């Protein structure tokens, strides 16, 4: 009886070990290029339309954070000028923001 229980425990431990060794990369959490771009455009359009910085309902739900938006700066136009990925595979977008006050273009990356 003891030998059987020990074999079962070793088998269960082996299964848990194998299950824990699955791919732990962040790839399954990184959105597609199109989905990430759509979320960024929805966020920047909400800012440009004068909406307060708050949750944007949709799929996916977006909770924006931007210090310039939060400070009340007005956005008059936006242009996504580039896209790349960092060493971890996270998508990044280069953006030119045309601000109303102070007037000018701010180049940033999201």
| Domain annotation covers residue 15 | no
| Domain annotation covers residue 3 | no
| Domain annotation covers residue 62 | yes
Full residue range of the structural domain in which residue 72 is found: 31-109
| Domain annotation covers residue 77 | yes
Interval 62-108: pLDDT, tens: 999 999 999 999 999 999 999 999 988 889 999 999 999 889 999 99
Residue 5 has pLDDT above 90, yes or no: no
Which positions ≥6 away from 104 have C-beta within 8 Å? 98
| Domain annotation covers residue 13 | no
Reply yes or no: is the peptide bond before residue 64 cis, omega within 30 of 0. no
Q: State the pLDDT at residue 11.
A: 58
Q: Token pair for residue 9?
A: 């425990």
Q: Confidence band (pLDDT; 50, 70, 90) for 24?
A: low
Across residues 28-37, what is the average pLDDT?
86
Q: Is the pTM of this model over 0.85?
A: no
| Domain annotation covers residue 58 | yes
| Domain annotation covers residue 9 | no
Q: Find where tokens 């700066």 sit.
A: 73
How many domains would you assign to the chain? 1
| Domain annotation covers residue 56 | yes
């Amino acid at each position: 009886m003891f030998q059987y229980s020990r074999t079962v425990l070793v088998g269960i431990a082996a299964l848990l070990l194998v299950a824990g060794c699955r791919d732990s990369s962040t790839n399954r959490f990184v959105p597609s290029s199109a989905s990430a771009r759509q979320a960024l455009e929805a966020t920047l359009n909400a800012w440009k339309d004068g909406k307060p910085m708050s949750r944007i309902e949709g799929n996916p739900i977006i909770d924006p954070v931007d210090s310039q938006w939060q400070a009340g700066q007005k956005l008059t136009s936006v242009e996504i000028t580039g896209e790349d990925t960092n060493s971890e595979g996270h998508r990044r977008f280069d953006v030119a923001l045309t601000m109303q006050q102070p007037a000018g273009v701010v180049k940033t990356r999201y």
